[in-house]
Chains A and B, each alone.
Chain A
Amino acid sequence: GENVEQHPSTLSVQEGDSAVIKCTYSDSASNYFPWYKQELGKRPQLIIDIRSNVGEKKDQRIAVTLNKTAKHFSLHITETQPEDSAVYFCAASEGNTPLVFGKGTRLSVIA
């Protein structure tokens, strides 16, 4: 089955700097790669996703890149703000199978 590795597990950045979180996956059949943000005590919320027919997708300050050959994808957050502090999870699936999640990255944005 699919296995998703995520790193780093924790990340601290100064407000205004960029943050990058990386994930690798094992199943070459996976074609859907979402990212979720989870604040303390809250539900995971989908913030951006990418499908295997594109290499990059951007939405304001967040972007995701996908390298299918290397089987890795990354989340980029620019101009970080304190409200970006949360745990971020990457995930992968074949699109019609359950998502397999990484273990999460705790991002702290220091004002």
Chain B
Amino acid sequence: NAGVMQNPRHLVRRRGQEARLRCSPMKGHSHVYWYRQLPEEGLKFMVYLQKENIIDESGMPKERFSAEFPKEGPSILRIQQVVRGDSAAYFCASSSDSRAGELFFGEGSRLTVL
């Protein structure tokens, strides 16, 4: 059973470009969460999604950031017009219906903005 898959693992963008990060949850999991981790810091919640629905986006900046989890395909975190402060590791996690809240993390996508 494959774990949570994230790609790309590393992404370099110049200021003003767009970044798209993808996450495929574990098989059988329908809950997806995105967290951001700055160097030497903890994990900050960004957004919680189920298929085709955003459940909680209270941790996501109102501008430039968006997330989706379509009926088919992976969840996508999109960052428009990136700035240097967006440089971080972005982790996706998933959980099942029966054990919602018990999160399994992917290996993360490390975004560097030049």
Contacts and interface: CB of A to CB of B under 8 A. Distances in A.
Interface of A: 1, 32, 34, 36, 42-46, 49, 89, 93-104
B101 A104 contact: no
A43 B42 contact: no
Contacts of B106: 43
Interface of B: 33, 35, 41-45, 48, 56, 58-59, 91, 100-108
Contacts of A104: 41-42
A96 B99 CA distance: 8
Majority secondary structure of chain A interface residues (helix, strand, loop or mixed): loop
Given A97-B56, A103-B41, A43 B101 contact: no
Contacts of B108: 43
B99 to A, nearest CB: 9
A103 B102 CA distance: 19
A77 B108 CA distance: 27
A64 to B, nearest CB: 14
Nearest to B105: A43
Contact of A89 (B33, B42, B58): B42
B43 A46 contact: no
6 contacts: A36-B105, A43-B105, A45-B105, A49-B102, A99-B45, A101-B35
